[in-house]
């Protein structure tokens, strides 16, 4: 039976929203809401942080936390350090975004099922664009697009629109083709996580600023699972206000 460990990387010093994990959403901190949602699908769960305030907050609400270095460039690096500091061994690590307070447990279940296929080394989620999504939605560079093969293995991720529909008006693209956006939830086999943190940055990764392209360039198998569940990522104080409004509804 596959043993899963959920890790929630949580930094205090966010450029756009300092102290974001401790932001209040309806009487609970954001990190507590993420933790409680993830714990509905995972028995083993830990917050990996570089800040004593976040560490103390997690312990105060009864969660597990591990202190990690302040020097990590990515959440993936922080996850690996946390994995090395756990006492038990795990087959797969799930990297859960610390800024999605309403993450649906079904999304975590979907990513866990990817490992029913023994070929899977890394797994992630994608979401279909709707036919009524606008061209601006599709072209948004902060919402990476993904294409995959018949075995649901990622071929490429891009901030540009892929594929390009030749001889079709751009405003008709979402009506003429099923596009997919990438949802930033990852899972890795433990030995693969150790391997990818040691890999140097790749040229495609540098070009698009997407670390998953490093993994594709190194011929790792990234399985994608499709989800229709809505999730809200909080990057700015304005996003926080939207999340509070959603909770009140």
| CATH code, domain carrying 66 | 3.90.550.10
- Taking the CA atoms of 131, 133, 139 and 141 in sequence, report the sign of the dihedral they define: negative
Q: Is residue 3 part of a domain?
A: yes
The answer on 246 and 206 residing in a single domain is no
Report the alpha-carbon distance of residue 142 to residue 164 in Å, rounded.
18
The answer on 133 and 36 residing in a single domain is no
The answer on 164 and 87 residing in a single domain is no
Q: Can you give the residue range of the structural domain that contains 96?
A: 1-103+233-249
By the 8 A CB rule, do 243 and 26 touch?
Answer: no
* Token output for 82: 């946390």
β-partners of residue 128 are 180
Angstrom CA distances, 150 to 119, 153, 223, 224, stand at 14, 7, 11, 11
Residue with tokens 């990515």: 74
In the chain, the number of structural domains is 2
The answer on 127 and 90 residing in a single domain is no
| pTM (two decimals) | 0.93
* Percent helix, strand and coil across the chain, each to the nearest 5: 35, 20, 45
Q: Is residue 116 part of a domain?
A: no
Report the alpha-carbon distance of residue 78 to residue 76 in Å, rounded.
5
Residue with tokens 């790749």: 202
SS3 call for 133: coil
Q: Phi first, then psi: what are they for 95, rounded to 5°?
A: -90, 110
Report the alpha-carbon distance of residue 150 to residue 11 in Å, rounded.
37
User: Helices 30-38 & 52-60, crossing angle to 10 degrees?
Assistant: 50
For residue 135, the 8-state DSSP code is H
User: What pLDDT tens digit does each residue of the chain (249 aa) get?
Assistant: 999 999 999 998 877 788 999 999 999 999 999 999 999 999 999 999 999 999 999 999 999 999 999 999 888 999 999 999 998 999 999 999 999 999 999 999 999 999 999 999 999 999 999 999 999 999 999 899 999 999 999 999 999 999 999 999 999 999 999 999 999 899 999 999 999 999 999 999 999 999 999 999 999 999 999 999 877 888 888 888 888 888 887
Q: Is residue 190 part of a domain?
A: no
By the 8 A CB rule, do 49 and 8 touch?
Answer: no
């Amino acid at each position: 039976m596959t043993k899963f460990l959920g890790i929630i990387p949580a930094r205090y010093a966010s450029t756009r929203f300092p102290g974001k994990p401790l932001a209040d959403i309806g009487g609970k901190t954001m990190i507590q809401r993420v933790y409680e949602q993830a714990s509905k699908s995972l028995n083993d769960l830990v917050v990996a942080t570089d800040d004593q305030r976040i560490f103390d907050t997690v312990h105060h609400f009864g969660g597990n936390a591990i202190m990690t270095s302040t020097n990590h460039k990515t959440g993936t690096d922080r996850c690996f350090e946390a994995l090395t500091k756990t006492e038990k061994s795990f087959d797969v690590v799930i990297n859960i975004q610390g800024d999605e307070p309403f993450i649906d447990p079904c999304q975590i279940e979907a990513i866990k099922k990817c490992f029913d296929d023994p070929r899977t080394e890394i797994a992630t989620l994608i979401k279909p664009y709707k036919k009524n999504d606008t061209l601006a939605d599709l072209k948004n560079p902060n919402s990476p697009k993904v294409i995959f093969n018949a075995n649901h293995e990622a071929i490429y991720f891009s901030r540009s629109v892929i594929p390009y529909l030749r001889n079709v008006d751009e405003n008709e693209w979402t009506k003429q083709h099923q596009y997919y956006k990438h949802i930033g939830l990852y899972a890795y086999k433990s030995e693969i996580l150790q391997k990818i943190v040691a890999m140097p940055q790749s040229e495609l990764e540098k070009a698009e600023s997407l670390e998953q392209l490093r993994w594709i360039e190194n011929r790792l198998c990234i399985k994608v699972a499709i989800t229709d569940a809505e999730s809200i990522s909080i990057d700015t104080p304005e996003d926080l206000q939207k999340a509070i409004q959603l909770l009140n509804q």
